Amino acid sequence: MVFINLALVFYTIGVWWERLSRTLRPAHLAFFWAGFVCDSTGTEAMRRIMGGRFELNLHGVTGLTALTLMFVRALWASWVLARGDEEAKHRFHRFSVLVWAIWLVPYFTGYLLSMAMRG
């Protein structure tokens, strides 16, 4: 749970800071990667707790989709910054909030599932 919540903090800071500044900076990229690493770590821990199985349900499918999108987005940001294309840095934010919103679906469904298991 700690890593999943850290992923939320890091990814939210990275996405909204980048969005509000309207240009991609190396610090944003660090938050994207930190969010991805925390989410991957937390997801793996949860998978092990659940006995190593993947469930084909809303949480499982959106979680895998969100994790993949986070990875692709971080790779893309790395590429944009490495190229140094100022126009690409300014356009990068167009889909960041959408990827973040998609990521929130498995975050909240996971939260609801954990509450259902406890109660």
More confident residue, 6 or 96: 6
| pLDDT tier, 52 (very low <50, low <70, confident <90, very high otherwise) | confident
pTM score above 0.75 = yes
Tens of pLDDT, residues 10-42:
999 999 999 999 999 999 999 999 999 999 999
Query: Could you tell me the end-to-end alpha-carbon distance of the chain, in angstroms, rounded to an integer?
Result: 17
